[in-house]
A = this chain, B = another copy of it.
Amino acid sequence: MDPAPLPEFNDILAAAARIAPHAHATPVLRSRALDAMAGCALHFKAEPLQRAGAFKFRGACNAVWSLDDATAARGVVTHSSGNHGGALALAAKTRGIPCHVVVPDNAVLAKLAAIEAYGAVLHRCAPTIAAREAMCAQVQAQTGAELVHPYTDPRVIAGQGTAAMELLATAGALDVIVVPVGGGGLASGTAIAARALAPGCRVFGAEPAGAADTFESLRRGERVIDFVPDTICDGLRGSLGAPDFELLRTHRVEVLTVADDDTVAAMRLLWQRLKLLVEPSSAIALALVLGHHERFDGQRVGVILSGGNVDLDALPW
Contact = CB atoms under 8 A, between A and B. Distances in A.
Of A48, A314, A317, most buried by chain B (CB within 10 Å of CB) is A317
A275 B316 contact: no
A214 to B, nearest CB: 25
Contacts of A316: 314-316
A278 B315 CA distance: 14
A21 to B, nearest CB: 15
Interface stretch (A55-63, A74-82, A263-271, A288-296): A263-271
Interface string A46-77: 00110001000000000000000000000000
Contact of A267 (B110, B275, B317): B317
Of A53, A271, A314, most buried by chain B (CB within 10 Å of CB) is A271
Interface residues of A, number: 20
A276 B270 CA distance: 11
Interface in A258-310: 264, 267-268, 271-272, 275-278, 308, 310
Contact of A277 (B49, B264, B277, B314): B277
Interface string A219-257: 000000000000000000000000000000000000000
Contact of A53 (B110, B275, B276): B275
B276 A275 contact: yes
Of A275, A308, A312, most buried by chain B (CB within 10 Å of CB) is A275
Contacts of A317: 264, 267-268
A45 to B, nearest CB: 13
A275 B314 contact: no
Contact of A275 (B48, B264, B272, B315): B48
A313 to B, nearest CB: 9
Nearest to A113: B272
A314 B315 CA distance: 9
A48 B272 CA distance: 10
Contacts of A278: 275
Nearest to A110: B272
Contacts of A276: 275-277
14 contacts: A49-B275, A264-B317, A268-B317, A271-B277, A271-B310, A271-B312, A275-B276, A275-B278, A275-B308, A276-B276, A314-B316, A315-B315, A315-B316, A316-B316
What are the 5 A-B residue pairs with the smallest beta carbon separation, nearest first? A275-B308, A48-B275, A275-B277, A264-B317, A268-B312
